[in-house]
Amino acid sequence: FLLYRKENTLFKAAKDNDVKSLIRLLQDKNTDPFAKGTVGENILHVAALYNNVEALVAILDVFPFLINEPIDCDMYRGETTLHIAIVNQNIAMVKQLLAQHADTENARAVGTFFAPGKEGQYYYALGEYVLSFAACIGNEEILQMLVKYGTPLHSQDRQGNTVFHMLVLHPNKSMACKMYDFLASLIPNETILYLESITNKKGFTPLKLAAHEGDIIMFNHFMKKRKQVYWAFGPVTSTLYELTGIDTWGDELSVLDIICSSKKKGARKLMEVTPLKELLHHKWTHHGYKYFLLWTVLYVLYTIIFTVCCIYRPLRPAGPDGDNISMMVLKPLNEAYSTKEDFVRMAGEILTVLGAFLILLTEIPRLVHIGPIKYFGNTVTGGPFHVIMMVYASFIVITVVLRLIGHNGETITMSFALISAWCNVIYFARGFKLLGPLCIMIQKMIFGDLMRFCSILIIVIIGFGAAFDVHFQALNPTIFPYFKDFPITIFTLFQLMMGLTNLAGPPDVTVPDIIIILYMVYMFFAFILLLNILIALMGDTHYRVAYERKSLWKAQVPA
């Protein structure tokens, strides 16, 4: 457990349990009781490491102040003799240390070896406090001794985790459940309720931490503890469950919220656990579905009104001041609202603007409250669609400003707002069993497969676009208008890759051979290779989503 290399006579006696030599050396006035080994351990740590109870007693008889001295190195900082004795499950040594008032309240192993993260190896298996060590080791006798000697049960480590949190995080779930019940049997019910209500720095109680980790074994264990049989008649049983901390009502970080926001696949399986399964079914069928359907109908009607207002926006003939392309131009503001039809359209426009401001007033506070990563990054809660919703509302506000100043640029923002508004209708497909998995599939393909494909495609098109542009610079741009400059060349290559056009040029004009070669290489790489990779990626995404479609749709319900 410790890297022990440097051995002087004192350390060797402690290691070999040579009590006679140890007593003789300890009584020597030149002996330094604070001498450190390779990793910052003292002689008491060495005696505990090698399970030498006699040597440990002899050292404490002479230097009792060493009992709470921690190891002093970055890796094992804070670890005391009691920690080591508990890890070794040396019951006699633990009894001896507790009898001599070893610190059970403040002793914390805080070295990198016990820290959560990549460097730490044993945080999730041991924790920091001696009580967590005993519980996570799984030794009931040591745990009982610690509780008997008044070890604090509410102590929280750097992550805010208590001993109950640590048992939830323990990798051995069957042992963790057993130790959880054993520890609970040693303390009064009132104390258990208090300890199970303590939250860590992320706001998780032990129950909520199990939900966040997607730990179905531990979560099931908690549910069984909350179960009370109300009545039984033959094979039929009526059971009551305590829903405190589970339901969303009155709790901003309930179990249902945690399951929706968790990125771990195991979290979705928790929705099949009783009573969550029954609770979700009841809330959705009696309240959620009707509420969601109402919002869907209202939003579709709102979008239709906005679309009609855009189609019938105030235009007038361009007249002699117009160009050869534009036949109609936007009416000035003083002419835009003069007829009966204009006022009907104005009512729709006012409704549209009020809706946009309502969206911003509801989305922005929630964005600030929970943070952009959690708000936009969770697929289950429709994160990407929140972006579309806010973009739509922003375009509406910009369009209003442009309309007031009479700028023709409103056409651009209005078109983007229309696209955003209708794309966001997909968000409401989540509530329907037939369309919910399709909604998830679209999100995963756009923000997963398509984003990766586009990042590679941009590099390829820029590279080949520069190569084509170098050669077409020397050719007549009137003969090859689709390659006359770099931006148009890029657009032409994109059309070629999508199969929307052929290599443009008059049939009677000879194209240089190098351009033909570049074209063939480009079409092979961009059209054949990259597009087929995209199709394969989307096929894989479709398979994964189709396989999980039932659990994915159920995750939409609490969201």
Q: What is the pLDDT of residue 302?
A: 93
Structural domain range at position 263: 202-273
pLDDT of residue 307: 92
Distance CA 393, CA 358 (A): 9
- pLDDT at residue 355, rounded to an integer: 92
Mean pLDDT score, 147-167: 91
Is the confidence at residue 502, as pLDDT, over 80?
Answer: no
Q: What's the pLDDT score for residue 234?
A: 72
From CA 519, how far away is CA 504, in angstroms rounded? 11
**pLDDT at position 81, please?**
92
User: How many Å apart are CA 551 and CA 260, to the nearest integer?
Assistant: 11
The pLDDT of residue 91 is above 90: yes
Residues in the chain: 559
Least confident of 56-70, 130-144, 425-439: 425-439
Q: Are residues 422 and 401 in the same domain?
A: yes
Position 120 scores a pLDDT of 47
Closest by CA to 420, choosing from 393, 447, 451, is 393
| Contact of 222 with 207, CB cutoff 8 Å | yes
Lowest-pLDDT range, 128-142, 261-275, 313-327? Answer: 313-327
Three-point CA angle 146, 151, 153, nearest 5°: 110
Mean pLDDT of the 71-93 span: 90
Task: Please state the pTM of the whole predicted model.
Answer: 0.75
Q: What average pLDDT does range 5-27 have in this prediction? A: 79
- What average pLDDT does range 134-147 have in this prediction? 92
Confidence at residue 130, expressed as pLDDT on a 0 to 100 scale: 92
Q: Which residues of 295-332 are buried (b: 16+ CB within 10 A; e: fewer)?
A: ebeebeebbebbbebbeebbeeeeeeeeeeeeeeebbe
Residues 362 and 457 reside in one and the same domain: no
Contacts 24+ apart (CB under 8 A), 335-340: 336/403
Please give the tally of structural domains in the chain: 3
Domain-located, residue 63? no
Distance CA 29, CA 369 (A): 63
Mean pLDDT to the nearest integer, 172-194: 91
Mean pLDDT computed over 260-285 = 80
Residues 266 and 333 in one domain: no
| pLDDT number for residue 176 | 92
Instruction: Give the single-character DSSP code of 506.
Output: -
CB count, 10 Å around CB of 86?
A: 29
Q: Is residue 94 included in any domain, yes or no?
A: no
Does a structural domain hold residue 133?
A: no
Instruction: Write the Ramachandran bin of 499: left for phi over 0, alpha for psi from -120 to 50, otherwise beta.
Output: left
The pLDDT confidence band at residue 97, using thresholds 50, 70 and 90, is very high
Residues 353, 217, single domain; the answer is no
- pLDDT at position 2 is 38
pLDDT in tens, 384-416: 777 888 889 999 999 989 888 878 788 889 999
Q: Are residues 538 and 426 in the same domain?
A: no
- Tell me: pLDDT of 381 over 80: no
Task: For residues 325-338, give the mean pLDDT.
Answer: 72
| CA angle (429 as vertex; 426, 306 as ends), nearest 5 | 50
User: Looking at the domain assignment, is residue 302 inside a domain?
Assistant: yes
Residue-level pLDDT at 504: 64
498 shares a domain with 367? no
Q: Are residues 514 and 414 in the same domain?
A: no
SS3 394: helix
215 falls within a domain: yes
Closest CA to 90 of 184, 19, 1, 178: 1
Say if residues 128 and 158 touch (Cβ distance below 8 Å).
yes
Same domain (yes/no): 397, 450: no
What span, in angstroms and rounded, lies between the C-alpha atoms of 123 and 133? 10
Concatenating the DSSP letter of every residue in 413-440 gives HHHHHHHHHHHGGGGGGGGSTTTHHHHH
pLDDT tens track for 306-321: 999 888 888 777 766 6
Q: What is the pLDDT of residues 455-498, one digit of tens each?
A: 888 888 888 888 888 888 877 777 777 788 888 888 888 888 77
Q: Please give the pLDDT value at position 320.
A: 65
Dist. CA 423–CA 421, nearest whole Å: 6
pLDDT at 495: 83
Same domain for 446 and 522?
yes
**Residue 505 · residue 515 · CB < 8 Å:** no
**305 pLDDT above the threshold of 90:** yes
pLDDT tens per residue across span 538-553: 888 777 777 766 666 6
CATH number at residue 472: 1.10.287
Sequence-ordered list of residues with C-beta below 8 angstroms from that of 497, at least 6 positions apart, any chain: 457, 461, 522, 523, 526, 527, 530, 531
Of residues 83 and 476, more confidently modeled:
83
pLDDT of residue 4: 40
More reliable by pLDDT, 510 or 302: 302
pLDDT of 121 over the 60 cut: no
- Check residue 269 and give its pLDDT: 81
CA separation for the pair 480, 318 (Å, rounded): 33
Q: Are residues 264 and 335 in the same domain?
A: no
Query: Which residue in this structure is represented by tokens 């009020």?
Result: 354
CA–CA separation, 291 and 284 (whole Å): 9
Residues 419 and 444 in one domain: no
Residue position matching structure tokens 């390659």: 483
Last residue of a domain, one of 430, 455, 485: 430
Numbers of helices and strands, H then E, in the chain: 29, 4
Mean pLDDT rounded to a whole number for the chain: 82
Evaluate if residue 5 carries a pLDDT over 50: no
Mean pLDDT of the 24-36 span: 81
Answer whether residue 39 is part of any domain: no
Task: Answer yes or no: is 485 within a domain.
Answer: yes
Strands (DSSP E) contained in 318-366 are: 328-330
Identify the band that residue 225 occupies on the pLDDT scale cut at 50, 70 and 90: confident
By percentage, how much of the chain surpasses pLDDT 70?
Answer: 88
Query: Averaging pLDDT over each range in 16-25, 430-439, 494-503, which range is the top one?
Result: 16-25
- Which of 234, 254, 273 is the endpoint of a domain? 273
Which pLDDT tens digit goes with each residue over 440-463? 777 777 777 788 888 888 888 888
Instruction: Judge whether 491 lies within some domain.
Output: yes
d(CA 39, CA 354): 67
Among 128-132, 251-255, 314-318, 416-420, the minimum mean pLDDT is found in: 314-318
In sequence order, the β-bridge partners of residue 329 are 316
Q: Supply the pLDDT for residue 257.
A: 81
Q: pLDDT-derived band of residue 39, with 50, 70 and 90 as boundaries?
A: confident
**Contact call for residues 168 and 210 (beta carbons, < 8 A):** yes
**Among candidate residues 430, 449, 470, the one where a domain is terminated:** 430
Cα angle 262, 155, 243; round to 5: 45
Residues 357 and 462 placed together within one structural domain of the fold = no
- In whole angstroms, give the CA distance from residue 91 to residue 99: 12
Q: 275 preceded by cis ω (within 30°)?
A: yes
